[in-house]
Chain A
Amino acid sequence: MQSECCWTKEVITPDECHSISADEAHLYTSLERRFLTKCIDCPLFVRDQERLTEEGSPAAPLLRVLLAEIKRNKSKLSTMVDFLDSRNLEIQFLHEIVTVLQTSLELDEVLSVALTAITAGKGFGMNRAFLLLTDKDRTILKGYMGVGPKDFQEAWEIWEEISRDDLSLREMATQFHQTKFSAEKNKFHDILERLTFPMSNEGHILVRSLNERRSILVRDALHHPEVDPSLAETIGVDTFLILPLISRNRRIGVILADNFITRKPITQQDMSFMETLTFPVAFAIERASLYERLHEDLEKLSVANTKLHEQQELIVRMEKLALLGKITSSIAHSIRNPLTVIGGFARSLLKNITENDPKREPLENIVQKTKQLEDVLSEVLGYADSVFPAIDEWDVNQMVETISRELQKKTEGSGITITLALAPNLPLIYLDYRQIAYCIKKILINSIKAMMPPGEVYLETRLVDDCIIVEIRDTVLIPEREAHEAFLDPGMTGLDDSGDMELSFCRVILENYSKSFTVERYAGIGSRYLLELSLKKEGP
């Protein structure tokens, strides 16, 4: 038989087969390859085959069987190649996601990548995805983020934008994180608010998926015996996919994905494919959360460190002050005795001389100057005494009453009243009586000095939790107070003014020897000083 097809020749010329293209020249010299790729589908070969059958050739049935087997294998091979291609794409895609996730440390950035991957056409191609996260104590599963179009119009715009921009997954995720994250969160706010479930509700499909660590494809949710219909009503679809996010045995959250717009069915294959994403996503979320917490802890540590430094500086300052106090006290004592003698004798001499005596003026000068020096000494000794701590159990009311009594004597008839409101039965408290009493007295004296009569100083004590509060209120108006503002800013005190210096000391002392000390100024009303003394035995 004369063959029409070239399948019987080992080597052919280009004229003998027109199915071979220029880039397939190697087929001219290889019968095996040419037969399997060209001849098997060639109409000339089909005709040759028919003729063999007609002629009753014994090879014809055998050739038919072999050809059928070759075609079957060829088809199988093609399917496998398609499958492998698709798997290869998936692996490439997952590799891209994992690479992006590995470099993301910010939680919102991680979520942007994950949700973009689920909803992008280049990714899993789902229409929408919701992320629910468990709280720190793993007691609540709460909607955190939603991504996707809300209606068909928006879906169309998104798809148009995607096809126009042709961005890679990383670019899409970055763009989403930078420009759309907050808007998307707000867009699904109402749905996310309703997606809150207690983890104790173990029968709930989302909690179950998380507890059983398995993805669930839910179909016909409204009539599903294991699904709360309100879940389907909330998200507006009855077919959705639940993907649990687990990292190192920790239940991180779940992803809910659906095809809200296209209503395209979700297959088991889609589910399997997306399952591969859940581990890197869960891991990245946990890592980002830990990173966030680490930052918070670092911030706290930094604040604590700053406080520690401040405390150290304060201690050094207090030590210096204590030393200064000791020296001042010693010097002052050495000065007071001679002053007493000089001034005392000058006064004594003054008593016995006449008005016109020429010694009178110099003696009066000595009396006046020694009086001035004595006043300065009293002030200096006053704060020098205050820097030596001596903590013991004291009755705060008794302390306040004593101070008030002392000052009442001085304000009698001045139009300034001191009102006491002391809580009964206050417990005894550990405090440095001398220092605290000294400071309270100085605050009161400061107020009384700055006050335009008639005025009132109000002193109150009360027990609040484990603290005794001493509240001082005065009716000193702001302009009158201005001259005394140094009290609020110890660093700005002029050292030549012993009164201001004392008030600055008071603030430092009260801040260190109490739980808290605050000063509040109210325009047109006056000031309020709140001293919180802890019942616990504490030193500065």
Chain B
Amino acid sequence: MSRILVVDDESSIRLLYSHELADEGYEVITVATADEAVEALQKDEFDLILLDIKLKNESGLDLLQKIVKERHSLPVILCSAFSCYKDDFSAWLADGYVVKSADLQELKNEVRKVLEKKAARSAPKKPG
């Protein structure tokens, strides 16, 4: 079962994502701040991070940079209420970008796609 870390300062969003992604068969852990996320990453192993860009008094993009630097293989999907960050160079480090919507299908598709990619990357190569 893939483990997903949801980082969002809105508790209702955390609840919604947690509920919906659990329905899809994922194990979901949620945190509200960047510090909590770092702490969680140090304690546990995750297959994917869903990261909000506008965290309270913090930027999700800064956290993204830190994650990419320290946990290079850990995929991150940015979830934001803004679409404009798509053109931001810092956002290009993420593996996916989803604009928040009540219809979570796009998010679910993106999660599946990114996890499949990760699985393909980590699968042992067949001898040539």
How many residues of A are in contact with the other chain, CB < 8 A? 27
**Interface check B82, CB cutoff 8 A:** yes
A338's nearest neighbour on chain B, judged by CB, is B12
30 CB-based A-B contacts, threshold 8 Å: A329-B82, A332-B81, A333-B54, A333-B82, A337-B81, A338-B12, A339-B102, A340-B81, A340-B100, A340-B102, A341-B12, A341-B13, A342-B102, A343-B101, A343-B102, A344-B16, A344-B20, A344-B102, A344-B103, A344-B104, A345-B16, A345-B19, A347-B104, A348-B20, A348-B23, A367-B102, A381-B82, A381-B84, A385-B82, A385-B84
Cα(A343)–Cα(B16), bound, Å: 10
B20's nearest neighbour on chain A, judged by CB, is A348
Q: Give the residues in chain A near B73, CB-CB below 8 Å.
A: none
> B82 to A341, Cβ gap below 8 A?
no
A-B contact count (CB 8 A): 64
Q: Give the residues in chain B near A332, CB-CB below 8 Å.
A: 81
Cα(A250)–Cα(B30), bound, Å: 89
On whether A371 and B102 interact (CB within 8 A), knowing A333-B54, A341-B16, the answer reads yes
Give the Cβ gap from A438 to chain B, nearest Cβ, in Å: 10
On whether A340 and B13 interact (CB within 8 A), knowing A333-B54, A346-B102, A367-B102, the answer reads yes
A434: contacting residue among B13, B15, B87, B101, CB under 8 A? B87
**Interface check B83, CB cutoff 8 A:** yes
The number of chain B residues touching the other chain, given as a range, is 20 to 34
Q: Give the residues in chain A near B102, CB-CB below 8 Å.
A: 339-344, 346-347, 367, 370-371, 374
Give the Cβ gap from A376 to chain B, nearest Cβ, in Å: 13
> B82 to A382, Cβ gap below 8 A?
no
Q: Give the residues in chain A near B12, CB-CB below 8 Å.
A: 337-338, 341
**Interface check B36, CB cutoff 8 A:** no
Give the Cβ gap from B128 to chain A, nearest Cβ, in Å: 34
Cα(A356)–Cα(B60), bound, Å: 43
B82-106 toward A: CB 8 Å interface, digit per residue (1/0)?
A: 1110010000000000011111100
Give the Cβ gap from B87 to chain A, nearest Cβ, in Å: 5
A346-365 toward B: CB 8 Å interface, digit per residue (1/0)?
A: 11100100000000000000
Cα(A390)–Cα(B75), bound, Å: 29
**Interface check A433, CB cutoff 8 A:** yes
> A340 to B54, Cβ gap below 8 A?
no
**Interface check B10, CB cutoff 8 A:** yes
Chain B interface SS verdict (over half): mixed
The residues of B with any CB-CB pair to A shorter than 8 Å are 10, 12-13, 15-16, 19-20, 23, 54, 81-84, 87, 99-104
**Interface check A378, CB cutoff 8 A:** yes
Cα(A339)–Cα(B102), bound, Å: 7
Q: Give the residues in chain B near A348, CB-CB below 8 Å.
A: 16, 19-20, 23
**Interface check A287, CB cutoff 8 A:** no
> A382 to B16, Cβ gap below 8 A?
no
Report which residue of B16, B19, B100, B102 has the largest number of chain A beta carbons within 10 angstroms of its beta carbon: B102
**Interface check A336, CB cutoff 8 A:** yes
Cα(A343)–Cα(B18), bound, Å: 15
Cα(A338)–Cα(B81), bound, Å: 10
Cα(A132)–Cα(B101), bound, Å: 80
Cα(A351)–Cα(B103), bound, Å: 12
A6-30 toward B: CB 8 Å interface, digit per residue (1/0)?
A: 0000000000000000000000000
> B84 to A337, Cβ gap below 8 A?
no
Give the Cβ gap from B57 to chain A, nearest Cβ, in Å: 15
B81's nearest neighbour on chain A, judged by CB, is A336
A373's nearest neighbour on chain B, judged by CB, is B102
Cα(A21)–Cα(B90), bound, Å: 122
Give the Cβ gap from A202 to chain B, nearest Cβ, in Å: 67
On whether A337 and B13 interact (CB within 8 A), knowing A381-B82, A434-B84, the answer reads yes
> B83 to A347, Cβ gap below 8 A?
no
> A333 to B81, Cβ gap below 8 A?
yes
> B101 to A381, Cβ gap below 8 A?
no
Give the Cβ gap from B85 to chain A, nearest Cβ, in Å: 10
Give the Cβ gap from A70 to chain B, nearest Cβ, in Å: 114
Of residues 380 to 433 in A, which have CB atoms within 8 Å of B's CB atoms? 381-382, 385, 433
Cα(A33)–Cα(B91), bound, Å: 122
Cα(A423)–Cα(B18), bound, Å: 49
Give the Cβ gap from A433 to chain B, nearest Cβ, in Å: 7
On whether A337 and B100 interact (CB within 8 A), knowing A433-B87, A434-B87, the answer reads yes
Q: Give the residues in chain A near B19, CB-CB below 8 Å.
A: 345, 348
Cα(A367)–Cα(B12), bound, Å: 17
List 18 additional contacts besides A378-B99, A434-B87; criterion CB under 8 Å: A329-B82, A333-B81, A337-B10, A337-B12, A340-B16, A341-B10, A341-B16, A343-B102, A343-B103, A345-B16, A346-B102, A348-B19, A348-B20, A351-B23, A371-B103, A378-B83, A381-B82, A385-B83
Give the Cβ gap from B72 to chain A, nearest Cβ, in Å: 27
B12's nearest neighbour on chain A, judged by CB, is A341
Report which residue of B20, B23, B81, B100 has the largest number of chain A beta carbons within 10 angstroms of its beta carbon: B81
> A336 to B100, Cβ gap below 8 A?
yes
Q: Give the residues in chain A near B87, CB-CB below 8 Å.
A: 433-434
Cα(A382)–Cα(B87), bound, Å: 13
> A340 to B83, Cβ gap below 8 A?
no
> A381 to B83, Cβ gap below 8 A?
yes
> B101 to A374, Cβ gap below 8 A?
yes
